[in-house]
A and B are shown apart, each in its own frame.
Chain A
Amino acid sequence: AQKITQTQPGMFVQEKEAVTLDCTYDTSDPSYGLFWYKQPSSGEMIFLIYQGSYDQQNATEGRYSLNFQKARKSANLVISASQLGDSAMYFCAMREFNDYKLSFGAGTTVTVRA
């Protein structure tokens, strides 16, 4: 069964605007972690942000914030003040703490327009 769902294959955003990338997950484990990674065309996977299932506050890292809605099982990534360098593929991932593996979503390609 699909553990991570990213329903947006591609998105366009205007420079300096905010963009929200959707991610929903499925788990019965009460302890889990949610991650977002950025993959530019060069291929490297860059860790952006982490949210633990017991964290009370939404995670933030600079221009990245994670909108964590536990009851809805969603972990959307918000990128504020988009820059041209934000153009990349973004992956949502989850790790259940009784498992060492990361489950990845299909990814969302973001293209920032000048």
Chain B
Amino acid sequence: GAVVSQHPSWVICKSGTSVKIECRSLDFQATTMFWYRQFPKQSLMLMATSNEGSKATYEQGVEKDKFLINHASLTLSTLTVTSAHPEDSSFYICSAQWINIQYFGAGTRLSVL
């Protein structure tokens, strides 16, 4: 199967700092990657679609300037949470599509103090 790696798995940061999360497709090339946010015991909420070589497509209500997405290569997409605040604390998880199926990373738990 296809493997997606996400790093870091856990990050704690101070309010006002920025945090970068990486999502890599290890054994396939992904022109499209997805970023989700998940609150405890809830379903996944799509934040944005990351397209290699072009601007990301953000879902309604997601702040583009707060959640910066870069998809510079066919195997790497990054999500940067800028000027993080406690309300940004959440579980963030990425996925990459390969032959019709989205494969997910292990997720990143972000805690903003």
- A residues adjacent to B (C-beta < 8 A): 33, 35, 37, 42-47, 50, 89, 91, 95, 100-102, 104-107, 109
- Is there an interface contact between B46 and A50, defined as CB atoms closer than 8 Å? no
- Is there an interface contact between A43 and B43, defined as CB atoms closer than 8 Å? no
* 9 A–B pairs (Cβ distance < 8 Å), ordered by A: A43-B106, A43-B107, A44-B106, A47-B101, A47-B103, A47-B104, A91-B43, A106-B43, A107-B43
Q: Which residue of the partner chain, among A43, A106, A109, contacts B93 with CB atoms under 8 Å?
A: A43
Known contacts A35-B101, A45-B44; can you find 8 more A-B pairs with CB under 8 A? Answer: A37-B104, A43-B93, A44-B104, A47-B103, A47-B104, A102-B46, A106-B42, A107-B42
Contacts between chains A and B (CB distance < 8 A), count: 49
- Is there an interface contact between A45 and B100, defined as CB atoms closer than 8 Å? no
- Inter-chain contacts of B46 with A (CB < 8 A): 101-102
Q: How far is the CB of B68 from chain A (nearest CB, A)?
A: 21
Chain A, residue nearest B10 (CB): A43
- Inter-chain contacts of A106 with B (CB < 8 A): 42-43
A37 to B101, CA, bound (A): 11
A109 to B43, CA, bound (A): 11
Q: Describe B's contact surface by its main secondary structure.
A: strand
Say yes or no for B95: interface residue by CB 8 A criterion.
Answer: yes
Report the count of interface residues on B (CB-CB < 8 A): 22
A104 to B97, CA, bound (A): 16
- Is there an interface contact between A44 and B1, defined as CB atoms closer than 8 Å? no
- Is there an interface contact between A44 and B107, defined as CB atoms closer than 8 Å? yes
Chain B, residue nearest A44 (CB): B106
Say yes or no for B77: interface residue by CB 8 A criterion.
Answer: no
Given contacts A35-B101, A42-B106, A43-B93, contact A104 B1 (CB under 8 A): no
Say yes or no for B91: interface residue by CB 8 A criterion.
Answer: yes
- Inter-chain contacts of B49 with A (CB < 8 A): 100-101
Interface residues of B in 39-68 (CB under 8 A from A): 41-44, 46, 49
Say yes or no for B7: interface residue by CB 8 A criterion.
Answer: no
